Every structure is written in structure tokens, then in C-alpha cells.
Amino acid sequence: MASGRTRRRKKKVLSRQGRVICTLLLAALLLGGLFARQKLPYYIYPVDYFDIITAEAEAVDIDPYLVSAVIKAESNFQEDAKSPAGAVGLMQVMPSTAEWLAGRGGYDFDESRLCEPEYNIRLGCQYLRFLLDYWQWDVYKAIASYNAGQTNVARWLNEGTWDGSGENLADIPFNETQNYVNKVLKIYQEYLELY
């Protein structure tokens, strides 16, 4: 009989220990989950290369978080990204556009450097600033032009296909550009809220 009581006591002790261990594990998981949830947005919306982004954005007087949003949408911060259309690097700059920008900026164009973060971000920032100036700082038109080209955007506006507003992005005839503008501006808003 004594052995039966001893077993029951051992079971109670083990079950108490088991409950304590389970409670501690559950608490650790919950705390880990809360910590991860708080950090998750910063992993989703990184600020890689932010020193370079800030320097190049400030050089042309644009918001570095807008540049970060373009990079996130274009390449997800992959410096060696290449699109099927031939766009290269973090900001997915077309070599022909990069050559034009380099000439306009007064420095040598070197296509082999388009995957270098500083060179690519410099060119991308200059292009974004050019588009913002071209569209008199209308962010919707500038971002749409970054994706579809200013000629297409000008045609849509002249034909009355799109009025250039954020409310009527669905009127843009290129689904990719509609989605792109929405995506960049959503990411931009996230950056502004996080940082």
C-alpha cells in the first residue's frame, strides 16, 4: 500500500512540476510572440542602406522614407536585382535612364556599377527628383511615372484616361502601375509611422 501512495505522490509532484514547466513554457512563448510582433514590422519594412539613402535623398531634397519605399517596392532591398525588362539594382534603374541621369548629373556612367548601392541609389534619387519636379511635386504622377514612364502618364492625362489623382488610380490602364503606386504609397506610410 505504501508503494501505491508513494506513486500517487510522485504523480502529483510530477504533474505539479509538469504544470509549472508548461506554464513557464507558455509564458515564454507568449512573451516571445509579443516581442516578435513588436519587431516584425521592422523586419517587414527595413531601412537597409539608410545612411546612403539619407545622403543621396538629401542631396536632391527628397524624403529618404519615400526613397526607401521605392526600394522596398522595386527590389525588396536586393542590390543585385534585375528585372525582365532590364532594370537593375536596388532602385531598378534602366541602364539607358541611368546613362541619361549620369550625363545630366555631370559624372561618368558605368553600367557595371548599377548594382552598387551608392551608385544605384544616387541615380534612383536623381530620377525620382526629376519626376517630382516634372509633375510639380505630384507624388501620384511621379510614382506612376517611375513605374510606367512619364510618356505613358502624360498620355493618360492628355487622353483623360486618368486624372492623376489618388482616388482614381483604378483608371490607370496598366494594372501593374495601379498596384505599384498603391504599394509604394502604402509602404511609404508604414515607414512614416514606424520611423
Distance CA 51, CA 184 (A): 20
Please name the residues in contact with 185: beta carbons below 8 A apart, sequence gap of 6 or more: 69, 139, 140, 143, 166
Note whether 143 and 129 are within 8 A (CB): no
C-alpha cell at 21: 514547466
Please name the residue that has the C-alpha cell 517596392.
Answer: 73
Catalytic residue among 56, 74, 176, 190: 74
| Element holding 71 (H helix, E strand) | helix 64-75
Q: Reply yes or no on whether 190 is catalytic.
A: no
| Helix%, strand%, coil% for the chain, nearest 5 | 70, 0, 25
Query: Which residues have a catalytic role annotated?
Result: 74
